[in-house]
Structure 1
């Protein structure tokens, strides 16, 4: 599989001569997570073609359609669409054209969507109620790890941050001001060119759940004066220098939700972000203000979160006298 991944790195480079500098910039045209996903998708397709004796590049539409059908029982429609995009990208960058509207591809995908559906599995939102309970439980635990986890949960929630944005924070990205603090996100999903985004987080209504005060407490206890904000803490309470990973955020969230009495299996690192949007919608916060904090470019995507968070707000079934 390693050789397939290495081969894909070459496949993603445009055809024709490029200078070393141009190749370096071209390799950074897509985000790291996107490139990893494309490599895995392309490796899957190449491996499937090798087993079946098919040519992966250029691939006949019938071959691509057959591949999608072969993966339909184990992969969701969104995952298959991403694989199709990766296959098309590899073709385009090598000077080939993959006709995604060819009936062998289009009708296969249409049939897969009708048969298996397109609704993605939704993780539970860590709304403000369960978050308060989780922070209260963490407040009972002494030591720097609990301090870190409280700060991580509250900053991630109040900033509506993705887990990758949360762990990418450096102390230099935080500016404490009279109203609270301002986070500078050097790069986010909707800012792939790194122009930077500022997110304001005000003081909370309670000292226990205030993201600003809890972050200050963690920084002071950990002795952090530069570098990553959220770092490792071992079981003995020793603060390390290694930056936490996005997976670590998910672990912290799950453990905190379990401590609060919730089923941890339904939660993920994304639960803080979705929990903020859900709670803001229930509190009647205007859509544009939620969007300012979350950074969503797509209103339909944001409205999906808002609708799920407001299902029982002014619900018609509650007003018909049942």
Structure 2
């Protein structure tokens, strides 16, 4: 490999090692410690999943450049414009990417260039006009996942066994539905505050329900999950049962279970477990029996829980928006699969 290409793929470039003292400032014990502290904060500027995706985006772009005898550095809007055009109109066996995936790739490239101290101007006409054309020619309405409604979630939890794994999975589904949580938020929960450094939040169980404190994209938010009217489907009762029999008193709440099914492990579950659990229960509960199994599982994902709560809760939209942590009512409406669209008739209100 040509030496000039090595720095573009080096993993060390994907960390904030460039944070250092100014060249004209002499180092000292206290300043050096602050540099390490600043690097630690910089490492937490984005989630691990986001950083992995951005690193993969940069690696793909670097390989694309090498295969065409060029270098990704310094930033070239003309080259990036050609790259995204190739992603949108891929040749041969390589499938074309969606508009959303191309925009994500651009974000990854922007991050990669910023890590190397050479910002990319995404507003440059060589990028902006090509992207605008890709959006105009290839953009499609987003494919929404099927909402898991109240009757669906009851049918799904009824398929779970009453062993330790069943208690855990029942709690995952009910807490995820009642909290309107993302799958990553579900598995990131700890028993208490500051239990582990990789936690995304913690749970406090009260007489009236459970209070979940979550670290979101825009800061911390609280999610209140009230107790249900039936113990069989009460999310708080299900969580208490799992915590009790799993002997979870510290650290990650949702963990693996030993092979014999008698003891909870200490290792946090991956968010993919939530997706697999939903798809398996959809099949076992025979949701959408009008479709073949392969099509049924494609309809449902982790977001089906959030969409199900937004679609099932017959309350003021503002409460649903706050519960889901959405910045706008418009985002909340995207999750509502069966809302009354013409409850407010502005035509009549305007006098027509």
TM-score above 0.5, yes or no: yes
CA shift in 2, pair 1:30/1:290, >3 Å: same
For residues 113 and 175 of structure 1, the distance between their equivalents in structure 2, rounded to whole angstroms, comes to 45
**1:240 is aligned to 2:240:** no
**Per-residue deviation at 1:7?**
4.9
CA shift in 2, pair 1:181/1:27, >3 Å: closer
CA shift in 2, pair 1:219/1:89, >3 Å: closer
**Would you say the 8 A contact 1:258–1:264 is kept in 2?**
yes
CA shift in 2, pair 1:268/1:113, >3 Å: same
**1:261 is aligned to 2:286:** yes
Paired position in structure 1 for 2:66: 50
**Would you say the 8 A contact 1:124–1:266 is kept in 2?**
yes
**Per-residue deviation at 1:71?**
1.0
**Per-residue deviation at 1:31?**
2.5
The structure 1 residue matched to 2:307, chosen from 264, 270, 274, is: 274
Paired position in structure 1 for 2:338: 309
For residues 304 and 16 of structure 1, the distance between their equivalents in structure 2, rounded to whole angstroms, comes to 44
Paired position in structure 2 for 1:81: 103
Moved more, 150-159 or 262-271: 262-271
**Per-residue deviation at 1:182?**
1.3
For residues 60 and 174 of structure 1, the distance between their equivalents in structure 2, rounded to whole angstroms, comes to 48
RMSD: 2.7
CA shift in 2, pair 1:67/1:142, >3 Å: same
For residues 28 and 6 of structure 1, the distance between their equivalents in structure 2, rounded to whole angstroms, comes to 17
Paired position in structure 2 for 1:295: 325
**1:4 is aligned to 2:9:** yes
For residues 19 and 159 of structure 2, the distance between their equivalents in structure 1, rounded to whole angstroms, comes to 57
**1:134 is aligned to 2:150:** no
**1:64 is aligned to 2:80:** yes
Q: Which has the larger radius of gyration?
A: 2
The structure 1 residue matched to 2:190, chosen from 151, 170, 175, is: 170
Paired position in structure 2 for 1:231: 255
**Would you say the 8 A contact 1:159–1:200 is kept in 2?**
yes
**1:214 is aligned to 2:219:** no
**Per-residue deviation at 1:101?**
2.5
For residues 191 and 133 of structure 2, the distance between their equivalents in structure 1, rounded to whole angstroms, comes to 50
With the length of structure 2 as denominator, give the TM-score of the two structures.
0.78
Paired position in structure 1 for 2:197: none
The structure 1 residue matched to 2:165, chosen from 132, 137, 145, is: 145
Look up the SS of the partner of 1:199 in the other structure. Answer: strand
**1:155 is aligned to 2:175:** yes
CA deviation profile, 1:51-105 (whole Å, cap 9, x unmatched): 1122212232221011001111421111211221222233345443433223321
Paired position in structure 2 for 1:183: 212
For residues 17 and 333 of structure 2, the distance between their equivalents in structure 1, rounded to whole angstroms, comes to 37
**Would you say the 8 A contact 2:190–2:251 is kept in 1?**
yes
With the length of structure 1 as denominator, give the TM-score of the two structures.
0.85
Look up the SS of the partner of 1:309 in the other structure. Answer: coil
**Would you say the 8 A contact 1:183–1:199 is kept in 2?**
yes
Structure 2 unaligned spans of 5+: 1-5, 23-34, 90-95, 193-201, 288-295, 346-352
For residues 83 and 167 of structure 1, the distance between their equivalents in structure 2, rounded to whole angstroms, comes to 26
**Per-residue deviation at 1:160?**
0.8
